[in-house]
A and B are shown apart, each in its own frame.
Chain A
Amino acid sequence: MATEVKLPRLGQGMEAGTIVKWLKSEGDKVEKGEPLFEIDTDKVTQEVEADFSGTLLKIALESGEAPVGETIAWIGDEGEQVAAEAPGGDSAGEADRTEGSDAGEQADGGAPQSAEKPAQAPAREPDREEGREAAAQAAESQPAAERPVRDSGPRERARGNREVPPAELERSKNGGRIKASPLARRIARERGIDLSRLSGTGPDGRIVAEDVERAKAAPAAAPAAAPPGEVESVPLTNIRKTIARRLTEAWQAPVFQLTVSADMERADRLVARSRELNPDVRVTVTDVLAKISAQALMRHRDVNVQFSEDALLKHPSAHIGIAVAAPQGLVVPVVRGVERLSLPETANARGEAVGRARDGKLQRDDLEGGTFTISNLGMHGVEQFVAVLNPPQAAILAVGATEDRVVARDGEIVVRPTMTMTLTVDHRAVDGAAAADFLRTLKTFLEDPALAL
């Protein structure tokens, strides 16, 4: 009895996800708990595990976006047939039951327990665009080599553009739709050609059959680097879109910035000693900053807050987000309860989270619930900078490089390892003096970490 694999909801508010790739092929055995596919949500790319064991019978959505709850594959007994059901036609539970009974009536009764095995059942009347695609495939009884990317959004005219942009670019302009003729889509589907890689030569950049034929003739002419002098257009990934959306939101918060410099001699020595004592754990300045920030936040609970519509949410624990430049873009994994962690524990937790971020393996949990963020560009030699708030958190710390600077101390000119950090604060949640107090504590702890105990 084939069971539908549906696009999972991986967090609050997730409405759609994009299948990046399948980690199993049709016909493969799948064990419950094995990674089955990779999905790109608006926050992360993550692996999704199979909920049940069996044979991966059919993949309905090879790649591309689908709403939560859409059927994207079937798992069942080896050799079992699945109906060429339109994915997405039945995301509701009731629809599933109806479908089951339909299928039962149409089953040929060949095998026991095959009530829901509609062998060669005719495709039901599809009611969506994807449905028609699927129905057309079924009618031709050809395997779905490649499903075209989900269509949505209105057509948009782009007349007068003599340059022919790749469909991917067109698609970003057309709200996700690749403009291609039905014939072009059919040929692409039959030959497994990805329409998003093609340029359309038809009216308004429509991909026509000839374009697909040409693509077949020259398969190597894929996404060639743009010739010098031409603008290369890179479509926005979900993560990029999220970064843009969230930072634009953040820009609306009334913020102020406070800057201090700290003498880093003892903090640096702490890093060095920790590594000496525990070579297995690679402690960094960021870890010291995270730990010390957590301690300071516990003493300044009015900074460890989130601003919400009608209340300030004061958090009992310091969940520190670390801004990470992952290959796919900026992500901020969260290390939880840092005030309860030792420095090596902090380093371990931070190291794992950053590693997952770099590998694109962050889980939704990794990204949620932060109360304070540290963004460290010191390793890039930046002296100081101003970070953009990470709402709903009330503060973010921008950390510059530790460098030898000439400073005055006790009337003497001395050279000290000095680091400048800037705190960006949501003024709706925290006032200047409170933030300044917190920053002074942070500076004091950094200059003398023992005080943080």
Chain B
Amino acid sequence: MPELSYREAVRDALATALRGDEDVFIMGEDIAEMGGSMGVTQGLLDEFGAERIRNTPISEMAIVGAGIGAAIAGMRPVVEIMYEDFLTLSLEQIVNQAAKHRYMSGGQITVPLTIRTQGGAGWSPGAQHAQQLEAWLVHVPGLKVVYPSTPTDVRGLLWSSIYDDNPVIFFEHRLLYPLKEEVPDELEGIPLGKARVVKEGTDVTVIAIGPLVHRTVAAAKEAEKDGISVEIVDPRTLQPLDEETLVESVKKTNRAVVAHEAVTRMGFGAEVTAVLQEQAFDWLDAPIERVGAKFAPLPFAPVMEQFVIPQPEDVLAAIRRTMGR
């Protein structure tokens, strides 16, 4: 099995789709010669040419709008928003156009557009380049929202996103790009809406997304030393959410922690918490704990930034609280 980094896995999914399907093309700021600000699309221009690997002006509204138009016209565009912080500039197109056309046309129009973006803190990008805004998009009916945490998942889920007939917002995390993992020889699509049990356990379920999956793995190792068996579930797709897998896990362990890098207030974890108490109330032996960033803009100073974003120790503390320890 080949070993791929998260960055290479994204590139592999894009290249495979570009190779096999003339309808697929990609657009974004500096994605061609430069290969994107994170180097994800390096080398694609050489293989596929400027017609299919297109640089755009610095206008997120235009990038997404052009993608929507192409998708409606029958293409399967993948557009890149350099930082998810800048999704805010394209929200009109995403929320009012991409998410609505299929519904408002009675299904006559579909928007098979994939919007890739990346973000996240931990490398001092500052308050305007480090946010985690996935909850904003999960809140809008008509969109699918994906947030993979591993090379295997990012490859398989990006593939499925490209071939989904709905607009998909595809979140990547800056710190995950170098993460390496052996991946299957053949690219296989991973269905959207299926969670993955990262690690089985019996005492408490941690539902984590993005980098918090890995911080939870570290926290779980510490917890095991105290005899606490942690089950880790990564929903991978935030919308639609695999409620069944999450609820089943919590019914087994009777305790739950939700963890993400975004602020807890109105975060994705709040929604998961609501789902769990609705569907597993009688199985809960402790209040559901939430782990997330402190409710503050992200500081530039590294030590301050680390203080604001959730660390493995924060996940561990939450695990312990659910255990009454």
Contacts and interface: CB of A to CB of B under 8 A. Distances in A.
Interface of A: 132, 136, 140, 181-186, 201-203, 206, 208-210
A183 B321 contact: no
A82 to B, nearest CB: 22
Contacts of B285: 181-184, 202, 208-210
Best-buried of A140, A182, A184, A209 by chain B (most CB within 10 Å)? A182
B324 interface: yes
B179 interface: no
B281 A181 contact: no
6 contacts: A181-B284, A182-B282, A182-B283, A182-B284, A202-B285, A203-B324
A209 B254 contact: yes
B324 A136 contact: no
A52 B283 CA distance: 40
A177 to B, nearest CB: 15
A183 B282 contact: yes
A286 to B, nearest CB: 56
Nearest to A203: B324
A182 B277 CA distance: 10
A186 B282 contact: yes
Contacts of A201: 324
A319 B285 CA distance: 56
Contacts of B58: none
Contacts of A206: 286, 324
Nearest to B282: A186
A209 B286 CA distance: 9
A140 B254 CA distance: 17
Contacts of B282: 136, 140, 182-183, 185-186
A145 to B, nearest CB: 15
A411 B324 CA distance: 81
A183 B324 contact: no
Given A183-B285, A206-B324, A208-B286, 7 more contacts: A136-B282, A181-B285, A182-B282, A182-B285, A186-B282, A203-B286, A208-B324
A203 B284 contact: no
A209 B324 CA distance: 12
Interface string B285-299: 110000000000000
Contacts of B286: 181, 202-203, 206, 208
A136 B281 contact: yes
A132 B321 CA distance: 26
A209 to B, nearest CB: 5
Contacts of A203: 286, 321, 324
A132 B282 CA distance: 10
Nearest to B286: A181
A195 to B, nearest CB: 14
Nearest to B251: A183
Nearest to A208: B285
The 5 closest A-B pairs by CB, nearest first: A183-B285, A186-B282, A181-B285, A202-B324, A209-B285
Contacts of A132: 281
B274 to A, nearest CB: 15
A386 B254 CA distance: 59
A185 B321 CA distance: 20
A190 to B, nearest CB: 10
A415 B321 CA distance: 76
B10 to A, nearest CB: 41
A339 to B, nearest CB: 62
A207 to B, nearest CB: 10
A53 B131 CA distance: 69
